[in-house]
Structure 1
C-alpha cells in the first residue's frame, strides 16, 4: 500500500497507537522494577533473620552469592555486595507495604544510593517521594543529596503565614529554598545583577531544576506599564502547583530593607495587570547574596503582599578551607574511571 492509498485517519491512528505502546512500556518497566525491588527486599529479609537468629557471618554471605550466581547465571545482582545491600534495605524498611507502595517505585540503585548517603529515615523517604514525583535519574538524585536539598526546602524567610490563606501559605513556603545553589554558573563574586540574570537565562534548564518542580519561565526583563511608565521585572515565572505568578528580583549584594518595598510594588502590579480570575495571589522572591535575619523580619513584618527573601551560592563562594579539601577535576576523572572499571568487573562476576 502506497502512501497515497493510506486512509486519511492513518497518521492520527499511528500516533495514538505509538503513545499507547509507550505508556504500556513504561508501566511494564515500572512493574518489573517493583518486582525486582520486592525480590531483593525478601532476600535481604531472609538473610537478616538468619543473621539475627542463627548468627550467620560474612563467609555465609560470600558462599550464598556464589551459589545464587551459579544457580541463576542469567540474572545480574547476586554479587556479595548486592546481597549486603539487600540486607541493609530490609533492615532500613521493615514494613513490606512501604516497600511495595513507596520504595519499590524507584530503581534499585536509587535505593542503594539512599542507603549509602542518607541515614535519617524521614529524609530518605522525602528523597524517594521527590524521585517518584520528578522522575530523577540517579545522578540527579545524588546531586540533590549533595546540595542538601532536603535541608534547604522551606527555609526562606517569608511573610506567607500573614499574607496567604491556608493551605496556600504552607505550600508556598515549601516551594522556596534557602540558599539556592547556582554552582552550575561560572561567575566571579564581583558579578553584577545583569551578569547573574544573563547567566541564569543561558542555563535556564539548570535554573528551573534548582527552583524545583512546577516553575514555568515567562520572561526576563518582563515589562509592566504603570501610569505611563515602564517597569521591568528581572525574572517572571508561573507556578502550576501554586497557580500563581512568581516574580524574582536579583540582587548581588546583601539584603536591604528597600528591596522588600520595591518587590511589594512589583507584586501589586502583577496582581492587577497579569493575574487572572483563577490565579492565586502573586508571590515575590528577592534573591540576595547574603541577608541578616533580623533586618529581613523587620522589612517583611507589615507588608500585605506575599514576599520571600532567599540567598544564593555560586560555585566560587565555597569557604577557602573547604576548597583546599575538594578534589581536582583530574582527580575526579581518575576516581570515576576506577569506579567504572570496578562496576564492570562487578557486573561480569555477578
Structure 2
C-alpha cells in the first residue's frame, strides 16, 4: 500500500512540477515581451527627442554622431547608442508618429479575419496615408512650439510635441503592431524602404509566424507579399469550399513557393543535400506556411490491390483541414490535377475526422499556363490549388564550394520524383 501511495504521490508531484514549469516559461515569455515593448518605446522616445531638438535648435545631422560620442563617454556601460542606432531611432520615430499608430491600431481590427481582398484594401489605405501625411519638420516646428522653450526631460518634450497625456501616448504605442516585433526586425523593415502598408503586413506576418529577423529579411527580399497576395491565384476554392474557409485558403496559398534547399541548416554538405533533398523541400514548405503541422511524407495507401504514395500530407490548424501536396518536377499538365484529386478522396476517406473540414489539395509544379490550369480544375468538386515553385539560388558564398550547382540540384530532384512516380504506377 505504501508503494502504491508513493507512486500516486510521485505522480501528483510530477504534475505539480509540470504546471509550475509551464507557469515559469509563460512568465519568462511575458517578461521578455514586456522588456521588448519598453525598449522599443524608449527608442521611439529618443528618436522623437532628437528630431524635436534638431528642429527647435536648428542642429544639423552631425549632432547624432556628437550625441553618440557623448553618451559613450558619459555612460560607457550603456550599449545600443551608436551613431548608426541613433539614426535608426530617428527613422523609427519619423515612420511612426501618433496618427500612424492610430491607423495601425484601426488596421488590426480590420485584419482579424484576413482575406486577399481585405489585405489589399488595408495595405493600399496605409500606403496612401503615409504618402499624404505632413512632413515631420512641419509637425515639430509649427506655431504650437515656442522657440527657446526649456525642456528638462524627454517626457516633457513628448508632451509638447504631441499634446497628448503621456500615459495615453504609451498605451497607444503598446497597443499598436510596432510593439509586437523586436528591434532587429524593425531595422530590417527600415532598411527595406517599404511603404507603411507593406511594413505593417510584414510585421503581422512576423508576429504570426514567429520569424526571426533573418527570416523576415529573406521574406521581404523574396517578395512574399506579392507571392501570397496575388489577386488571381489558380484554384477552385470559391466553388468547393464554404466561406470563410474559401477566403482563408486562398489567402494562405502562395504563388510561387521558393525553396532554399541550402538554408535548412547552418552548415550543409553535398551528401546531405543529395540524400535529404525532398526532406529539405518539406521542411522549407512548413517554414513558409502559417498554422501548418506535418503529418506524413510519402504516405502509403493501399487501395484495392495497388499501393499509392502521397508526396506530403500536412494539417492546417486555421483551416481545420488536411492539405495534400503533390510535387512535380515539370510544368503543369492537366492529368496532374486528376492524380491529386484521387489523393484528396483517399485522405478524406482514410484520415479525415468528423470535426475536420474538407481536405484541400495543393499541386506544386515547375511552371504552368494559368489558363490551362484553370480549365483543368473546372470539373473537380474537390478544393485544389495550383502554384509554381522555384529553387532559390541565394546560396551563401562560404557554402558554394561544398554545394552542387542549381542545375545539379534540379536534376537530382527530377530523378527522385521520377523514381517515386515509377514506383507508384
TM range (shorter): 0.7 to 0.9
Secondary structure (helix, strand or coil) at the match of 2:261 reads coil
Cα distance change, pair 198–286 in 1 and its aligned pair in 2 (3 A): farther
Secondary structure (helix, strand or coil) at the match of 2:379 reads coil
Give the unaligned 5+ runs of structure 2. 1-5, 105-172, 264-272, 401-425
Secondary structure (helix, strand or coil) at the match of 2:29 reads helix
For residue 51 of structure 1, the aligned residue among 38, 51, 54 is 54
Give the unaligned 5+ runs of structure 1. 187-194, 319-325, 332-350
Tell me which residue corresponds to 2:277.
Answer: 199
The more displaced of 104-113 and 13-22 is 13-22
TM-score (norm 1): 0.80
Shift of 1:59: 2.0
Tell me which residue corresponds to 1:110.
Answer: 185
**Counterparts of 2:274 and 2:351, CA distance in 1:** 25
Matched, 1:61 2:64: yes
Cα distance change, pair 172–118 in 1 and its aligned pair in 2 (3 A): farther
For residue 379 of structure 2, the aligned residue among 297, 302, 306 is 302
**Counterparts of 1:168 and 1:203, CA distance in 2:** 26
The 5 Å alignment of 1:189-228 reads: 199-202=277-280, 204-210=282-288, 212-228=289-305
Tell me which residue corresponds to 2:216.
Answer: 141
CA contact 1:185–1:314 (8 Å) conserved in 2? no
Give the superposed CA RMSD: 2.9
CA contact 1:185–1:200 (8 Å) conserved in 2? no
**Counterparts of 1:217 and 1:15, CA distance in 2:** 26
For residue 350 of structure 2, the aligned residue among 264, 273, 282 is 273
Shift of 1:52: 4.2
- Kindly provide the CA deviation profile for residues 254-310 of structure 1, in whole angstroms up to 9, marking residues without a partner as x: 101111122222222322332221111111111111111111121122322111111
**Counterparts of 2:297 and 2:24, CA distance in 1:** 39
Tell me which residue corresponds to 1:123.
Answer: 198
What number of residue pairs does the alignment pair up? 312
Cα distance change, pair 205–232 in 1 and its aligned pair in 2 (3 A): closer
**Counterparts of 1:214 and 1:142, CA distance in 2:** 21
The more displaced of 63-72 and 76-85 is 63-72
**Counterparts of 2:256 and 2:281, CA distance in 1:** 18
For residue 174 of structure 2, the aligned residue among 96, 100, 105 is 100
Which structure has the higher relative contact order (CA within 8 Å, separation 6+)? 1
Tell me which residue corresponds to 1:132.
Answer: 207
**Counterparts of 1:273 and 1:11, CA distance in 2:** 37
CA contact 1:179–1:313 (8 Å) conserved in 2? yes
Tell me which residue corresponds to 1:340.
Answer: none
**Counterparts of 1:208 and 1:65, CA distance in 2:** 43
TM-score (norm 2): 0.66
Cα distance change, pair 134–289 in 1 and its aligned pair in 2 (3 A): same
The more displaced of 127-136 and 77-86 is 127-136
CA contact 1:288–1:310 (8 Å) conserved in 2? yes
